[in-house]
Amino acid sequence: MIQLVQNAPAGLSVRELEDLLELAARSFLSPFRNHSALKGETHQGRFVYYATEPKIYRQPKAAQLRISSAAELPTNAEAITMLVPIIKHPNFSMAQIHASLK
């Protein structure tokens, strides 16, 4: 887990760690709660782990701020428009899905 967090461009949220490790957070996070290589912070309602090494920590923190400020959720209509080709053509690549939305 430490290696994953240290290599993450914007730190990793608990949900992202669960997805990557395919484990529930309560089953693996408690031993890392006070680990010296990790720092956890709440960022826009999500708990995010960062590397504590200053050189590593500054880069992900800045990336997290850029990602969250740039991210906007689509409207319901936009989300449906995006989901239609994914549902109709589950074997499409992301490039094919993107092309079908143009």
Contact, 84 vs 100, CB < 8 A? no
32, 59: one domain:
yes
Pseudo-torsion of CA 26, 28, 31, 36, nearest 10°? -110
Q: List 11's β-bridge partners, or say none.
A: 9
At 20, give phi and psi (nearest 5°): -65, -40
64, 77: one domain:
no
6, 44: one domain:
yes
8, 47: one domain:
yes
62, 78: one domain:
no
User: pLDDT grade, residue 36 (50/70/90)?
Assistant: confident
- Burial of 71 per CB tally in 10 Å (0-12, 13-18, 19+): exposed
Q: What is the pLDDT of residues 40-83, one digit of tens each?
A: 788 778 888 877 776 555 555 555 555 554 556 677 887 788 88
48, 8: one domain:
yes
Domain count, the chain: 2
Q: What is the pTM of this model?
A: 0.48
- For tokens 């709660």, the residue is 33
Domain containing residue 64: 2-70
